[in-house]
Structure formats: structure tokens, C-alpha cells
Structure 1
Amino acid sequence: MYIPKIYKSEDRELMKQIISDNGFAMLISNKEKLWATHSMFLLNESGKDFYLETHVSNGNHQAKVLRDGDEVLCDFLGANAYISSSWYDHINVSTWNYEAVQIRGTVKLMTDDELYLHLHKLTYKYEKQQKCPMFAENIGEASIRNEMKGAFGINIFPTEIHIASKLSQNRKENDFKNIIKELQESPEESSRKVAEKMKDAKPVYSQRPQ
């Protein structure tokens, strides 16, 4: 994706946070034809490196054509909100603030044991916050392995990483503060989240996106 320099981030911790908080993301491939699937991702750290894990249904076109070494694109959208031009002290256009990550990488198909561990970790991540969590141990290995017959698991090893953090860094101080105020008063949780993100941003008001 195109990211103007002012909005481009190299913050790996921000990247990990966006992926962790927004794990239901897009798996995009272009083998035989363009295809995109919403799927659940996990970030797996290995020393200083990392890779992504996900799975799709065996009935999915991507499961039928993807093989080791194929290229895919993973798209994660983080906090985002509409920014009205009425919040500026001058005539301008409205825009959208957002954080996003795109990772291009190569595919490595999971073994059955890797897929089992992937589903085990995925279940733990989302069940641990439930009132009555149903962990993999409660379901039983036999039941999980039976359900695995309908799943196609892949690991994705990054070749390109793009991190966008567009938080009105190009706005004047008064406009910047007013945008935060308006977002904080929004009934939408995502807008209020963007306001909190902006408080930690480092505006450079004299710059404009190139």
C-alpha cells in the first residue's frame, strides 16, 4: 500500500499490537485468480523474527491452489475513524484517520500437528476472556483433530512489511486538538480509540503528505 512518509511507521511493537487486536483480517492471493478471505491470524514470534499463522476452509479456492513458496498479502485494519472538515478552523476536505498493517509473505503449508497447535493457541486467545471458557483441553484432542479435516492451515513468512499510522500528524495544533475533542465525544468506540491513539502521536504540523 502507498503510505506518505509522514504516516509511515517502522514501529514493530505497533505492528504487533495492530495484528493482535485485529486478528480477523484479509488473506489475499492471486494464484489462478484474485481471491480474498477473511480469516483469523496469529503472530508467532521466533527470536527477532516472526511469522503469521492462519487457516481457511478446505472448500476455499485458496486451499485448493496455494502451495509452499506462493506469495500472499495479509491486510490488517486497526483503529479508524472519519474526520470531518467541519472540525478545522479553515476550509479543507474531510478525510479518514487509521492504523493499518500489510504484510506480503511466502506460504508454508502447516503439518497436521502444526494445525492442531495453531487451533489450540487460537482457541486459548479468544476463550480466555469468556465467562465460561471452553479451551482445547475441554473439547478434547480427538474432537479437534476430527474438525481439522475441514481446515487448511498455512504459515506466512514476511518478505515486506508496511505499517501506516495516519493520525492527523499534518494538521495545525488547534485543528489537531479539536479533532481529538470531537472524536472523544463520538458515540463510536472506534472514533474514541483513534482519539486515544492521537494523544500519543507526534504531530509535525508544518509537513504535508507527499
Structure 2
Amino acid sequence: MYIPKYFKVTSVKEIEEFIQKNSFGTIVTTKQGRPIATHIPLLLEKGERDDYYITGHVAYGNPQWRTFKESQEALIIYQGPHAYVSSSWYSHENVPTWNYQAVHIYGKVEVLSQDELKKSLTNMLYKYESHRENPILWEKISPNLLEAELRGIVGFRIKVQEIQAAYKLSQNRSEDDYKNIIQNLYAEQDLESHQLADAMKKIKK
């Protein structure tokens, strides 16, 4: 991913928080040189030696999992809020642009064993269900249903080997223009623009 110096993010803690918040990602592998992508929820987990892993699962009927062994490397893409920025919001003549947040993760992908898949699914359910009034956790689901569902999916794990993170949030603009962009994003009618404005305010704290 091309990242100008203004927009490069290197803080591991900041990137980890971003991934946890925007965990519906895209896994990309290749088959005979052609990219294949699947959009799925993913789980970021820390290993015993301060290394990181991304786990997830795809449907057995999805042919992408069959590329995991032959692919030298997989790419995970996480996308945060993004929105159009009008150049009418600047104090000088310029062209419009698009602001966004994105993280790319590279690593070798491997298929999980059944026990590893169960652990991954248990952790994923806990992340998304534990705070709810009536959480649906692993131990609450009937064994028959779980076994039937497990036969229809393939789990995978990626050890994080390279991270590329870009927050293109008008950091190269003047202070007055920066504030004006935030104000105008809040005036837009879509939630994505408001979320992007929140992100811009956060990095300036």
C-alpha cells in the first residue's frame, strides 16, 4: 500500500485498537496468479511471544480455502471510516480528495485443526456476545448444532509478518483548514463522514 509520510501509522497499540474496532476484514490470496477475496469477521489474537495472529473461518464451499497451502502469502485488509473531502472546505484553491483509514496485514496462512477452530470460534463469540444481555456463548449452543456447523466451515490462522497502516486524515493541511474539514464532515448527512470527523479529532488530541 502506498503511504505518504504524513499518513503513515507505526504505533502497534494504535493499529491493534483499530483492528479490534474494524474487525470485519477482507482476506486475499491467489490461485494461479489471480487474486481471490472473501469478506469476513476476523479475530486478532496475541501469541505467547508477543507475536500476533489473525484467525477466522470461511465456508467449506468457498474455494478460497483451497489456496491457503499454495499461497506464499495472504493479505488481510481492514477498512475504517472514509469520506469525500471537498476542496471548497479549504482556505485556498485546491482539488478535492478522499480521507480514509486502512490497515494491511501480510502473513503466511495455514488451516486450523478442529480443536484450534473451536477455540477460535469460542473467542470470537465471546468478543461479540459477552457484553449482551443474553449472550450466545459456545457452551450455550447445543453440541449437535455445533458439530453440524463445524462440518460446513474451514478455519485458518495467519501469523502477522508485516503491517502497513495509513490514516489519510488531512494531516498535511493547515490548522484552520483541518478544523473546517471536521466541521463540514459533521454537517454531512451520512454516518461515515461523522465517524471520519471523530477520527480526525482523536488524532489531534
What's the TM-score, normalizing by structure 1? 0.89
| Map of 2:7 onto structure 1 | 7
Change (3 A) 1:68 1:35: closer
Checking the alignment, whether the CA contact within 8 Å between 2:106 and 2:160 is kept in structure 1 is yes
| Map of 1:38 onto structure 2 | 39
Distance in 1, matches of 2:23 and 2:200, equals 22
Change (3 A) 1:150 1:70: farther
Deviations 1:151-182 (A, max 9, x none): 11110012211011111001111111101111
Distance in 2, matches of 1:72 and 1:95, equals 30
Checking the alignment, whether the CA contact within 8 Å between 1:80 and 1:191 is kept in structure 2 is yes
| Map of 2:162 onto structure 1 | 160
Gaps of 5+ in 2: none
| Map of 1:181 onto structure 2 | 183
1:14 maps to a residue whose letter is E
Checking the alignment, whether the CA contact within 8 Å between 1:72 and 1:104 is kept in structure 2 is yes
Q: CA deviation at 1:115?
A: 0.4
Distance in 2, matches of 1:145 and 1:10, equals 41
SS of aligned partner of 1:143: helix
SS of aligned partner of 1:169: coil
2:45 maps to a residue whose letter is N
What's the TM-score, normalizing by structure 2? 0.91
Distance in 2, matches of 1:65 and 1:191, equals 37
Number of residue-to-residue matches in the alignment: 203
Q: CA deviation at 1:189?
A: 2.3
SS of aligned partner of 1:34: strand
Out of 66, 73, 83, which is 2:85 matched to?
A: 83
Distance in 1, matches of 2:192 and 2:132, equals 22
Distance in 1, matches of 2:60 and 2:167, equals 35
Q: CA RMSD in A?
A: 1.9
Counterparts of residues 187-202 of structure 1 (less than 5 Å): 187-202=189-204
SS of aligned partner of 1:199: helix
Identity %: 39
Distance in 2, matches of 1:151 and 1:28, equals 18
Q: CA deviation at 1:83?
A: 1.0
Q: CA deviation at 1:26?
A: 0.5
Distance in 2, matches of 1:129 and 1:114, equals 24
Q: CA deviation at 1:131?
A: 4.0
| Map of 2:18 onto structure 1 | 18
Q: CA deviation at 1:190?
A: 2.2
Deviations 1:70-93 (A, max 9, x none): 311000001222211111112211
SS of aligned partner of 1:30: strand
Checking the alignment, whether the CA contact within 8 Å between 2:109 and 2:159 is kept in structure 1 is yes
Q: CA deviation at 1:69?
A: 6.9
SS of aligned partner of 1:113: helix
Checking the alignment, whether the CA contact within 8 Å between 2:107 and 2:160 is kept in structure 1 is yes
1:180 maps to a residue whose letter is I
Deviations 1:26-68 (A, max 9, x none): 1001132320110110001124211100111111111223228
Q: CA deviation at 1:14?
A: 1.9
